[in-house]
């Protein structure tokens, strides 16, 4: 199939007019006016710059050079004619934001104007995307370099467009961090949050405390010893690249919990002062910094001082999540501190610590940011809250005038896989999957805020935790000689969802549409391929089978521009050598049909299959006795729910009640199930069960011994949505003997 036919198909599918040679920019700019004609980039094109923009001119040349093979002339702008690209700084530029730009492509002149370095940089990123996608290639590509004439005016919606990379659970060498920032920059993302400290690894050199990296930077023994850290020189290099890419790095030094690596290095930091090891598996350690002794504060201030010297950005992240207070409860120093400071609860002791650190950071002209738990013990006045698991903390913080960054587990935890399809690489399973569409269809600002309060929401943030690298089976599966596979894995989790996040944070919500995005993303994949980014290939977009007199007709389209679709009709798993799709096909039974998207003849998606009929899928669990629905589930606390099982429990015997999640952002947790007859509990199964992205112990076994004919049988279960009320599913009952 030609590229044109495939595009035509996706046009039919999504009803849009996107093609490879029109404007396909991600994130979608705020204003685009197409014009006729093209600008021909050639080896006599000259890059002109106005005062102060020489660095950007060089950067543009660096971007264009590998794929075009041109080393363009760069000149200070003066009166000139001919084929030119002008980078123009204009601090008075009207009608664009601080990071905004205008881009005017004419037949013989391109002009990018902005009022900041960031604006010029984003204009350059857009110019790259107007070029043939091969421009992202690291080596010379044999294409013509026409750029469509267009006029663009563009500014981001939110100033904070971030990604977090967990370099503690898995240590990414600086080269990957730099590459990752390049990936972010092409999406106009501008904050890299480095989760640089956690229980299983301290990853940044601190001169005053060398054991933090000597001991805290490594875990395990002998051949199993694993670790690494960034030297000050590494950080200088990372920061230099970040500056060039208009990215602010936010380093996270976790306190008071999630820092056993530091306690292993300096046991006197902990309440017990016991020698600890750097954990080799991932769990939330109970070991935390002693909040009572002044030595802890001195340590933190000295560490922060060196961290501030290394990172020029405005924010320091202090973690604050998931602190368990067991050690504080046993510690005379912590108890005394609480008395001295008149603190009632342990969370207030954490609040005291956070506020003290904030005060210190303020003296260094830095701002504190922390996970949403920093709200619980009394929020520091200038602190910024990163809301990850409790959306209401964003509302609370914004209402009290604190800034907020949204990093919700349900939309932005990209360590969660995109699907539950067989073959999806193992990733975080504690949350339901986050598909590209789910990541895209997110409005990060809570609707309940007033227009004034909404201004406190700085933007949004995707998170890539790497705890699964320690758990089974990712790293264990990776042959040590092929370490690149772990990088590919992070690329895979990040792309294409980084595109979704880019548009969520850059493009005004009223301009966003999934279909339009999917069409532009079809071209964005070509850029990933050219740039050798290991993205997740999406499955073919298959339409509902059409019933014919004889069997069914199946039509599909490729979600990736120019990719092949390969399929089988005998129930087998398709491969890159299966039949090539060129036109709608006929099948006897849609259940036997399966198809994959194949990029570059070898990089394939997981197989598409029509979902099994839900009723059939659930039938093995018996009969349906009820369901739970989004909005109706208790959020975060167990509440009883009742289902009528009269007539379905109809004799003595053993029955199984199974909870099956069907959708929503939250999994359902179950703590017990009972059978009630005439107000009396006649059977009970108490155990923790979960149904969501993954099911665990979600079947409850109930034995009925004195069946009463004519009585009403009620199933009562204590359930809750994990962290919110967006969960749906069905409850099934089955007699097992
Ligand atoms: C977190 O996921 N513990 C912030
Ligand atoms: Zn203590």
CATH number of the domain within which 727 lies:
2.60.120
User: At which residue do the structure tokens 């590509």 appear?
Assistant: 141
CB count in 10 Å sphere of residue 642 = 12
CA of 388 to the centre of ligand 1 (A): 7
pLDDT for the residue 1? 34
Q: Taking residues 696-714, what's their average pLDDT?
A: 95
Structural domain contains residue 315: yes
Burial of 681 (0-12, 13-18, 19+ CB in 10 A): exposed
Please give the tally of structural domains in the chain.
4
Structure token digits, residue 626: 């009820």
- Ligand 1 atom index nearest CA of 407: 4
Q: Is 237 in the pocket of ligand 1 (CB under 6 A)?
A: no
- Ligand 1 atom index nearest CA of 465: 2
Structure token digits, residue 606: 């997981």
Q: Is 321 in the pocket of ligand 1 (CB under 6 A)?
A: yes
Q: Is 322 in the pocket of ligand 1 (CB under 6 A)?
A: yes
CA distance 58 to 55: 5
The residue from 499, 530, 561 where one domain ends is 530
CA of 389 to the centre of ligand 1 (A): 8
Q: How far apart are the first and last CA of the chain?
A: 56
pLDDT tens column, 653-674 = 999 999 999 888 889 999 999 9
Asked if 279 and 219 touch (Cβ cutoff 8 Å), the reply is: yes
Q: Nearest ligand, CA of residue 293?
A: 2
Q: Nearest ligand, CA of residue 166?
A: 1
Q: Nearest ligand, CA of residue 291?
A: 2
DSSP 82: S
CATH number, domain containing residue 565:
2.60.40
pLDDT at 438 over 90: yes
CA of 272 to the centre of ligand 2 (A): 7
Q: Nearest ligand, CA of residue 371?
A: 1
Same domain, 272 and 407: yes
DSSP 592: G
CA of 288 to the centre of ligand 2 (A): 8
Structural domain contains residue 584: yes
- Label residue 471 by pLDDT band (50, 70, 90): low
Same domain, 54 and 102: yes
Please choose from 193, 321, 406 the residue to mutate so as to test ligand 1's pocket, defined by most ligand atoms within 8 A of CB.
321
Q: Nearest ligand, CA of residue 269?
A: 2
pLDDT tens column, 149-176 = 999 999 999 999 999 999 999 999 999 9
pLDDT at 479 over 50: no
Burial of 601 (0-12, 13-18, 19+ CB in 10 A): exposed
> At 656, is the secondary structure helix, strand, or coil?
strand
CA of 321 to the centre of ligand 1 (A): 6
Same domain, 174 and 308: yes
CA distance 262 to 19: 53
One DSSP character per residue, 605-630 reads PPPEEPPPPHHHHHHTT-EEEEEE-T
Q: Taking residues 235-245, what's their average pLDDT?
A: 98
CA distance 309 to 71: 37
Q: Which residues crowd ion ligand 2, with CB under 5 Å?
A: 271, 290, 292, 331, 333-334
Helix spans in 495-605 (H): 497-506, 514-530
Asked if 201 and 168 touch (Cβ cutoff 8 Å), the reply is: yes
pLDDT for the residue 485? 62
CA of 331 to the centre of ligand 2 (A): 5
Q: Nearest ligand, CA of residue 372?
A: 1
C-alpha distances in Å from residue 729, one per residue of 245, 418, 435, 662: 45, 20, 19, 5
Structural domain contains residue 694: yes
* Among the listed residues 153, 149, 161, the one whose alpha carbon sits nearest the alpha carbon of residue 191: 161
CB count in 10 Å sphere of residue 44 = 11
- Across-strand partners of 596? 566
Same domain, 566 and 642: no
CA of 457 to the centre of ligand 2 (A): 35
Percent of the residues in the chain that have a pLDDT greater than 90, as a whole number: 84
Task: For residue 517, say if its preceding peptide bond is cis, omega within 30 degrees of 0.
Answer: no
CA distance 634 to 637: 6
Task: For residue 561, say if its preceding peptide bond is cis, omega within 30 degrees of 0.
Answer: no
CA of 326 to the centre of ligand 2 (A): 10
Burial 499-526 (b: 16+ CB within 10 A, else e): bbbbbbbbbeeeebeeebbbbbbbbbbb
Task: For residue 389, say if its preceding peptide bond is cis, omega within 30 degrees of 0.
Answer: no
pLDDT for the residue 520? 97
Same domain, 422 and 408: yes
Please choose from 200, 322, 416 the residue to mutate so as to test ligand 1's pocket, defined by most ligand atoms within 8 A of CB.
322
Same domain, 705 and 656: yes
pLDDT averaged over every residue in the chain: 92
pLDDT tens column, 211-237 = 999 999 999 998 888 899 999 999 999
* Among the listed residues 640, 665, 243, the one whose alpha carbon sits nearest the alpha carbon of residue 439: 665
pLDDT for the residue 8? 41
pLDDT tens column, 294-337 = 999 999 999 999 999 999 999 999 999 999 999 999 999 999 99
CA distance 363 to 305: 11
CA distance 242 to 88: 22
Q: Is 388 in the pocket of ligand 1 (CB under 6 A)?
A: yes
- What share of residues in the chain are helix, strand, coil (percent, to 5)? 30, 25, 45
pLDDT for the residue 6? 43
Structure token digits, residue 163: 């990604």
If DSSP states are collapsed to H, E and C, what string results for 561-574? CCCEEEEECCCCCC
Q: Is 371 in the pocket of ligand 1 (CB under 6 A)?
A: yes
pLDDT tens column, 281-305 = 888 899 999 999 999 999 999 999 9
Strands 84-89 and 680-691: unpaired
User: At which residue do the structure tokens 């267009």 appear?
Assistant: 150
Q: Is 414 in the pocket of ligand 1 (CB under 6 A)?
A: no
CA of 297 to the centre of ligand 2 (A): 12
Same domain, 164 and 287: yes
Q: What is the greatest pairwise CA distance in the chain? A: 98
CA of 274 to the centre of ligand 2 (A): 12
pLDDT for the residue 481? 36
DSSP 659: E
* Among the listed residues 698, 695, 693, 729, the one whose alpha carbon sits nearest the alpha carbon of residue 420: 693
Asked if 184 and 498 touch (Cβ cutoff 8 Å), the reply is: yes
Q: Which residue puts its alpha carbon closest to atom 2 of ligand 1? A: 388
CA distance 268 to 174: 31
Same domain, 301 and 267: yes
CATH number, domain containing residue 280:
3.20.20.80
- Label residue 113 by pLDDT band (50, 70, 90): very high
Structure token digits, residue 399: 């209402």
One DSSP character per residue, 119-181 reads HHHHHHHHHHHHS-GGGG-SS---S--EEEEEEEEE--S-SEEEEEEETTTS---HHHHHHHH
CA distance 129 to 117: 19
Same domain, 339 and 381: yes
C-alpha distances in Å from residue 246, one per residue of 190, 191, 239, 531, 565: 6, 9, 10, 20, 38
CA of 46 to the centre of ligand 1 (A): 49
Same domain, 605 and 620: no
pLDDT for the residue 4? 41
Please choose from 169, 388, 394, 406 the residue to mutate so as to test ligand 1's pocket, defined by most ligand atoms within 8 A of CB.
388
Give the global pTM: 0.85
pLDDT at 585 over 60: yes
CA of 387 to the centre of ligand 1 (A): 9
Q: Which residue puts its alpha carbon closest to atom 1 of ligand 1? A: 321
Structural domain that includes position 555: 541-609
CA of 164 to the centre of ligand 1 (A): 11
- Ligand 1 atom index nearest CA of 413: 2
CA of 354 to the centre of ligand 1 (A): 17
CA distance 609 to 539: 10
pLDDT at 473 over 50: no
- Ligand 1 atom index nearest CA of 322: 3
- Label residue 11 by pLDDT band (50, 70, 90): very low
DSSP 322: T
Asked if 63 and 541 touch (Cβ cutoff 8 Å), the reply is: no
- Ligand 1 atom index nearest CA of 258: 3
- Ligand 1 atom index nearest CA of 371: 4
CA of 640 to the centre of ligand 1 (A): 28
pLDDT at 353 over 60: yes
The DSSP H or E segment spanning 75 is strand 73-76
Structure token digits, residue 71: 């080393």
pLDDT at 20 over 60: no
* Among the listed residues 214, 193, 213, the one whose alpha carbon sits nearest the alpha carbon of residue 202: 213
CA of 299 to the centre of ligand 2 (A): 14
User: At which residue do the structure tokens 């006929």 appear?
Assistant: 586
The DSSP H or E segment spanning 50 is none
Q: Taking residues 47-65, what's their average pLDDT?
A: 96
The residue from 136, 154, 172 where one domain ends is 154
Percent of the residues in the chain that have a pLDDT greater than 70, as a whole number: 95
Residue count of the chain, please give it.
Answer: 737
DSSP 649: B
The residue from 585, 609, 633 where one domain ends is 609
pLDDT tens column, 533-542 = 989 999 999 9
pLDDT tens column, 444-463 = 999 999 999 999 999 999 99
- Ligand 1 atom index nearest CA of 463: 2
Structural domain contains residue 129: yes
Structural domain contains residue 1: no
- Label residue 423 by pLDDT band (50, 70, 90): confident
Same domain, 509 and 545: no
Structural domain contains residue 103: yes
CATH number, domain containing residue 128:
3.30.379.10
- Label residue 635 by pLDDT band (50, 70, 90): confident
Structure token digits, residue 102: 């205008």
Strands 594-599 and 608-609: antiparallel
Same domain, 667 and 556: no
Q: Which residue puts its alpha carbon closest to atom 3 of ligand 1? A: 321
pLDDT at 14 over 60: no
Q: Please, what sign has the CA dihedral across residues 240, 164, 444, 498?
A: positive
Q: Nearest ligand, CA of residue 409?
A: 1
C-alpha distances in Å from residue 558, one per residue of 19, 40, 585, 592, 597: 13, 30, 15, 20, 7
Q: Nearest ligand, CA of residue 294?
A: 2
C-alpha R_g of the chain: 28
Please choose from 285, 369, 389, 462 the residue to mutate so as to test ligand 1's pocket, defined by most ligand atoms within 8 A of CB.
389
Q: Nearest ligand, CA of residue 346?
A: 2
Structural domain contains residue 91: yes
Structural domain contains residue 499: yes
Q: Is 430 in the pocket of ligand 1 (CB under 6 A)?
A: no
CA distance 327 to 293: 13
């Amino acid at each position: 199939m030609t590229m044109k036919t495939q595009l035509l198909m996706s046009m039919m599918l999504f009803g849009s007019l996107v093609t490879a040679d029109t404007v396909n920019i991600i994130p979608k700019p705020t204003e685009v006016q197409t014009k006729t004609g093209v600008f021909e980039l050639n080896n006599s094109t000259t890059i002109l710059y106005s005062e102060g923009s020489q660095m950007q001119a060089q950067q543009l040349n660096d971007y264009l050079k590998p794929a075009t093979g041109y080393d363009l002339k760069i000149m200070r702008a003066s009166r000139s004619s001919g084929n030119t690209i002008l980078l123009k700084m204009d601090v008075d530029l009207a009608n664009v934001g601080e990071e905004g730009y205008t881009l005017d492509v004419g037949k013989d002149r391109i002009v990018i104007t902005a009022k900041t370095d960031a604006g010029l940089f984003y204009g350059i990123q857009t110019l790259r995307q107007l070029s043939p996608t091969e421009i992202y290639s690291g080596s010379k590509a044999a294409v013509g370099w026409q750029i469509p004439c267009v006029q663009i005016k563009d500014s981001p919606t939110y100033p904070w467009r971030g990604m977090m990379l967990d370099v503690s659970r898995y240590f990414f060498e600086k080269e990957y961090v730099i590459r990752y920032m390049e990936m972010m920059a092409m999406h106009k993302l501008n904050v890299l949050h480095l989760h640089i400290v956690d229980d299983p690894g301290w990853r940044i050199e601190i001169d005053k405390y060398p054991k933090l990296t000597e001991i805290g930077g490594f875990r395990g023994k002998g051949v199993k010893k694993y670790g690494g850290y960034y030297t000050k020189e590494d950080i200088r290099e990372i920061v230099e690249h970040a500056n060039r890419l208009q990215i602010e790095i936010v380093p996270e030094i976790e306190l008071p919990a999630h820092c056993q690596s530091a306690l292993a290095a300096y046991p006197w930091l902990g309440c017990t002062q016991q020698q600890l090891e750097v954990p080799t598996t991932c769990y939330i350690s109970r070991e935390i910094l002693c909040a009572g002794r002044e030595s802890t504060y001195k340590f933190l201030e000295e560490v922060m001082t060196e961290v501030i010297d290394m990172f020029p950005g405005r924010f320091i992240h202090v973690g604050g999540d998931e602190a368990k207070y067991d050690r504080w409860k046993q510690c005379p120093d912590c108890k005394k501190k609480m008395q001295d400071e008149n603190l009632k609860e342990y969370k207030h002791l954490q609040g005291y610590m956070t506020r003290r650190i904030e005060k210190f950071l303020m003296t260094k002209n830095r701002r504190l940011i922390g996970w949403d738990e920093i709200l619980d013990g009394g929020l520091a006045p200038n602190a910024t809250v990163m809301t990850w698991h409790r959306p209401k903390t964003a509302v609370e913080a914004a209402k009290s005038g604190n800034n907020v960054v949204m990093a919700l587990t349900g939309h932005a935890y990209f360590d969660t896989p995109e699907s539950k399809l067989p073959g999806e690489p193992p990733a975080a399973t504690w949350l339901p999957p986050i598909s590209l569409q789910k990541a895209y269809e997110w409005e990060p600002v809570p609707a309940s805020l007033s227009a004034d309060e909404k201004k406190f929401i700085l933007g949004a943030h995707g998170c890539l935790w790497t705890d699964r690298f320690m758990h089974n089976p990712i790293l264990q599966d990776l042959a040590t000689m092929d370490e690149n596979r772990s990088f590919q894995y992070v690329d895979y989790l990040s792309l294409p969802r980084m595109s979704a996040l880019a548009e969520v944070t850059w493009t005004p919500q009223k301009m966003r549409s999934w279909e339009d995005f999917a069409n532009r993303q079809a071209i964005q994949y070509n850029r990933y391929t050219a740039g050798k980014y290991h993205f997740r290939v999406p499955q073919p977009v298959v339409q509902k089978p059409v019933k014919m007199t004889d069997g069914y007709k199946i039509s599909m389209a490729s979600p990736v521009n120019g990719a092949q679709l390969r399929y089988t009709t005998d129930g087998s798993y398709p491969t890159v050598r299966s039949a090539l799709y060129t036109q709608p096909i006929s099948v006897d039974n849609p259940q036997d049909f399966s198809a994959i998207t194949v990029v570059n003849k070898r990089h394939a998606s997981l197989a598409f299959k029509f979902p099994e009929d839900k009723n059939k899928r659930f039938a093995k669990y018996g009969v349906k006795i009820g369901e739970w629905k989004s909005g109706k589930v208790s959020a975060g606390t167990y509440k009883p729910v009742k289902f009528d099982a009269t007539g379905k429990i109809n004799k003595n015997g053993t029955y199984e009640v199974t909870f099956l999640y069907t959708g929503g952002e939250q999994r359902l947790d179950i703590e017990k199930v009972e059978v009630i007859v005439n107000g009396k509990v006649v059977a009970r199964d108490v155990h923790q069960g979960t149904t969501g992205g993954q099911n665990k112990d979600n079947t409850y076994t109930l034995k009925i011994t004195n069946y009463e004919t004519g009585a009403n049988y009620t199933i009562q279960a204590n359930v809750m949505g994990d962290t919110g009320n967006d969960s749906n599913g069905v409850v099934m009952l089955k007699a097992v003997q």
